[in-house]
Structure 1
Amino acid sequence: MAWNEPGGNGNNQDPWNNGGDRRGGGKKDQGPPDLDEALQKLQEKLNGIFGKGGNKGTGGSGSNGSSAGFLAVVVVVILVGWAAMGFYTVDQQERGVVLRLGKYHETVMPGLQWNPPMIDEVITTNVTRVSAYEHRSLMLTEDENIVDVSMTVQYVISDPVNYALKVRDPNASLRNASESALRHTVGSSEMNSILTAGREVLGSDVKLRLQGFMDDYQTGLRITQINIKEAKAPSQVQDAFDDVIKAREDEQRSINQSESYRNGIVPEARGIAQRMKEEANGYRERVVAQAKGDAQRFTSLLTEYQKAPEVTRERLYLDAMEEVLSKNSKVLIDVEGGNNMMYLPLDKLVESRPRTSTGSTSGRLNSSELQDVTDQVIDQLRQRQQTTTREAR
């Protein structure tokens, strides 16, 4: 029989009664279930879970027990949420600096990590990304000239602990230190080297000095590259500097041309000098040898002259005349007792003589040919003398 049918034992079976007749003198309650009773039951279950005994039959109001159970549930929910908030992930390119109650605790590596929320603070930094900073300003060189220098600084975070904790603003420190390093290096260099070939040396010097500043400041930054993008004179005097650079280039070109000419002419002059030395040595050897030969010949001729003076003198005369006449193509002879001077064309006589076996005539007369020419001359002289005698008679 249903609990609410007429005549039934509905009062004992009413689920909303909650034993009100036992507590309230049998008074029936047809309202909703009591909230305090539900919280009390939940508290009893929690007490059983956490090892606390039930409080049935104890004194105290049900309202206080229900409030305690609600607070326990709230505390559990808060603890679970607090623990869930402690999970985080560190990227592969990052490192995590853990601060426990504001003090450095550890450095965590990439992966899933957990730290107590509101107790530990995690600062993540990217240690592989290359950052860049550009700086440009007018600076004074060692030789008191003004140059406009523009450079780019590339850097990475090498020490995340120093980067996060030792310096308040590492990037601002880098900007200030880079300008200081650049000004110090430019102030120790001349303008010519900065504008021309010394740009790479300037970049390396600035990098070395700037890295020293970063290490002294403990910024945790590592300088990877310094690029001197531009180094020029101020725009107000750029035209004058261009003229100076052009003149310097012309000077260098002239020097290179002179070097090339010297490299070509000096070896040639040395060769000519060496050839002249060799020719002089050859001439010296020839003259010395000829002098020795003449001296030897004179000594031999002296011996022969001492033996037969007349014959030797005549032979010397004939040799001298042969040498003189062989070099002259025309001879004039004055005939003794005559009024005419005879002209002998020796060149024509040489051309008219018989050719040699080689088909050509020699430029000089040998002894037999000279004797033939002499005989012809003597015959002509005799004939002319006879003709002159006849005419005189």
Structure 2
Amino acid sequence: MNWDWDKLQEKRDRQQRQRPVRPERDDRDTFDHDRSDEDARTRRPSPGPRGGSSGPHFSMPRMRLPNGLMLGGGAALLVLLWLLSGIYIVNPGEEGVVLRFGKYNRTVGPGPHYALPSPIETVYKPQVARIMRSEVGYRSAGESRTFQQGQVRGIPAEASMLTGDENIVNVQFSVQYRIADPVAYLFNVYEPDAMVRNAAEAAMREVIGNSLIDAAITDGKLQIQAEATQLLQTILDRYGAGIDVIAVQLQDVHPPDEVRDAFKDVASAREDKSRIINEAEAYRNELLPRARGEAAALRNEAEAYRAMRVQNAEGAAARFAAVSEEYAKAPRVTGQRLYYEAVEDILKNAGDKVVLDGKIPEKVLPYLPLPGLKGAQPATGGTEKK
């Protein structure tokens, strides 16, 4: 009986494909079973004299990788990925704080670094160059953090403070700070932002309690800011917070709403007083230099006049001494010469001159219109007008 071996083989192949897959038992049984199935599928009878198959024909089985080796490769890949997860980058303006089994180990700067993967080592990256801000007495609305009317929400419980003269004032201020020691900032305090706000409120209450309300509202704000900054830094250093306070800035200082109008009037009066004082100071600063200049000019003129008079007197004294010495040598000649010089000094400044010779002066009335001599008639009896 001749069998159609090709059709029989195709039927067996279809049955093998439709057969459900049995669960695997172990590596050896699975490998042997797969090899027996492969042998059964590839075994073909040899062809007979009429084109049929005269006997079975065997082909080489296909090799498969054991499941244990595949699991080992997957585990090695997972270990490699776990080791590579320790690579991290610290950005500019940050510092990397590395903990090993929860204990501080080291601090690294910006750049790529490697740490043993979690849970062996843990990395924190605080932003040490960032200027942070804490608000006391109010909260800004939105991300702009600008203090403008209508964009803030007051916190009366934080803003209400008592001054040194037992007056109530509402103080709204902000604190600017940065991280100075990242290790202390991360592990010495809990919730550092809330701690900074509470410490700033305590420091400001102490400073306001030592100040008068007039200074807090008008011209004492700069001193209050400086004292609050120094006191807040002292408190944070005592806590070991690792925070450096940059500035404390007063945003708004005003009395309660019930007495705000009265305080505005007082502040206006103080401003008027300061304005008037400044105007008086300006007038004084303008007048005093001018008076000092005039006094210096008068003093210089007096000094010059004194020096001139002294020098003239000294010259006259020296001339008199010289003439006296010459008079002692020749009294008659020197006396006549002095008489001529004296007459010359008298007559050189006279405009009109009247000379009477001989006995004429005895007959003439000794009254002459000397001031109006040009209009007078010359006297008779030998008068000569020069």
TM-score by length of structure 2 reads 0.54
The separation in 1 between residues aligned to 2:164 and 2:95, in whole angstroms, is 44
2:22 aligned residue: 34
SS in 2 for 1:125: coil
Shift of 1:230: 4.0
Match of 1:214 among 228, 231, 236: 236
Distance 1:4 1:189, change over 3 A: same
Higher helix proportion (structure 1 or 2): 1
Distance 1:281 1:77, change over 3 A: closer
Q: In the alignment, residue 166 of structure 1 is paired with which amino acid?
A: N
Per-residue Cα deviation, 1:211-259 (whole angstroms, up to 9, x for no partner):
3332332223233x31524465534512211221221232122123202
1:154 aligned residue: 176
Per-residue Cα deviation, 1:370-392 (whole angstroms, up to 9, x for no partner):
xxx7xx54348xxxxxxxxxxxx
1:92 aligned residue: 91
SS in 1 for 2:129: coil
Match of 2:381 among 371, 378, 389: 378
Alignment map for 1:333-352 (pairs within 5 Å): 344-346=368-370, 350=374
Contiguous gaps of at least 5 residues in structure 1: 17-29, 46-68, 354-372, 381-393
Per-residue Cα deviation, 1:118-151 (whole angstroms, up to 9, x for no partner):
5655444333332212234355566777665543
Is the 2:96–2:108 contact (alpha carbons within 8 Å) kept by the matching residues of 1? yes
2:195 aligned residue: 173
1:21 aligned residue: none
Alignment map for 1:285-296 (pairs within 5 Å): 286=312
2:270 aligned residue: 244
SS in 1 for 2:238: helix
The separation in 2 between residues aligned to 1:336 and 1:118, in whole angstroms, is 145
1:125 aligned residue: 126
The separation in 2 between residues aligned to 1:193 and 1:154, in whole angstroms, is 20
1:253 aligned residue: 279
Q: Among all aligned residue pairs of Structure 1 and Structure 2, give the percentage whose two residues are the same amino acid.
A: 23
Match of 1:265 among 291, 315, 319: 291
Is the 1:101–1:120 contact (alpha carbons within 8 Å) kept by the matching residues of 2? yes
Shift of 1:102: 4.0
Shift of 1:302: 11
Which structure is larger by alpha-carbon Rg, 1 or 2?
1
The separation in 1 between residues aligned to 2:382 and 2:217, in whole angstroms, is 103
The separation in 2 between residues aligned to 1:277 and 1:143, in whole angstroms, is 60
Distance 1:259 1:207, change over 3 A: same
The separation in 2 between residues aligned to 1:163 and 1:336, in whole angstroms, is 124
Q: In the alignment, residue 130 of structure 1 is paired with which amino acid?
A: I
Is the 2:233–2:244 contact (alpha carbons within 8 Å) kept by the matching residues of 1? yes
Is the 1:329–1:345 contact (alpha carbons within 8 Å) kept by the matching residues of 2? no
Distance 1:343 1:34, change over 3 A: closer
SS in 1 for 2:174: strand
SS in 2 for 1:151: strand
Cα RMSD after superposing both structures? 5.7
1:228 aligned residue: 249
Q: In the alignment, residue 133 of structure 1 is paired with which amino acid?
A: S
Is the 1:195–1:231 contact (alpha carbons within 8 Å) kept by the matching residues of 2? no
SS in 2 for 1:271: helix
Is the 1:147–1:232 contact (alpha carbons within 8 Å) kept by the matching residues of 2? yes
Is the 1:82–1:117 contact (alpha carbons within 8 Å) kept by the matching residues of 2? no
Is the 2:101–2:120 contact (alpha carbons within 8 Å) kept by the matching residues of 1? yes
Is the 2:174–2:251 contact (alpha carbons within 8 Å) kept by the matching residues of 1? no
Distance 1:275 1:328, change over 3 A: same
